[in-house]
Amino acid sequence: MKTFEYTIKDELGIHARPAGLLVKAVKALDSKVTIEKDGKSAEASKLFAIMGLGVKHADTVKVSVDGGDEETSLKAMEAFFSENL
């Protein structure tokens, strides 16, 4: 399992549009991706689970990548977060 932390820069946090893009990006990967905030976690392939975390601007989330090609998936998620969130 590989992890990284990311502080959300989007003024609206993780809202519907980027959450939908995230789900699509995760489903293209060979690994399971989990997002954690304040002790709650959600599978990044489930839109409503991501929205349920209530991630706002300046919140820090922990992203975990497990199984499959972890290194490639981790780099893809780091790129996605920096470009979209």
Catalytic residues: 15
Evaluated on CA atoms 22, 25, 33, 78, the torsion sign reads negative
Contact predicate 5/63, CB 8 Å = yes
Residues 39 and 84: beta-carbon distance below 8 Å? no
Cross-strand partners of 64: 3, 34
